[in-house]
Amino acid sequence: MTASDLVVVDSAGWVEYLGDGPKASVFGPYLDKPESVLLPTTVVYEVHKTLLRECGSQLAEGFLSAALGFHDRVIPLDVPIAELAARVSVDKKLPMAESIIYASARQHRATLITSDGRFTGLHGVTIL
């Protein structure tokens, strides 16, 4: 697998997919190949929180169990990602979580998969 095969699916994509939302089928082709998915810890936080709030603890805990299986594909928030995220946030006026998720994808040469229009025009982003 090459770096260009790797993807980071943003939090909204995971919630759509797991919650069988209207865009679940467009995120499915990416999330159905877990070997190519990188998972930033910021996404783990946002998805778990959203699922707890909106879908209940069973789905939230199921996601968390699946996230633990990502082992070496989990991207922790470290200093280089934090620094890049801060620059992206200032330059592109992105909120903190979105900047961290984008920076995590860029740091690992992965494509960010999202439905969030705030990422329009950024390198390495596929907007669904």
Q: Where are the domains of the chain?
A: 3-127
For residue 73, what is the enclosing H or E element? none
- pLDDT interval class at 4 (50, 70, 90): low
Where does residue 92 rank: exposed (0-12), middle (13-18), buried (19+ CB within 10 A)?
Answer: middle
Model pLDDT, residue 1? 46
Instruction: Kindly state the tokens that stand for 62.
Output: 């199921």
Cβ-contact 27, 16 below 8 angstroms: yes
- pLDDT interval class at 71 (50, 70, 90): confident
Of the options 3.40.50.12160, 3.40.50.1010, 3.40.50.620, 3.40.50.720, the CATH number for the domain spanning 3-127: 3.40.50.1010
Query: What's the sign of the alpha-carbon dihedral 72, 17, 31, 93?
Result: negative
CA distance 20 to 33: 17
Quick check: 2 pLDDT over 90? no
The pTM of this model reads: 0.92
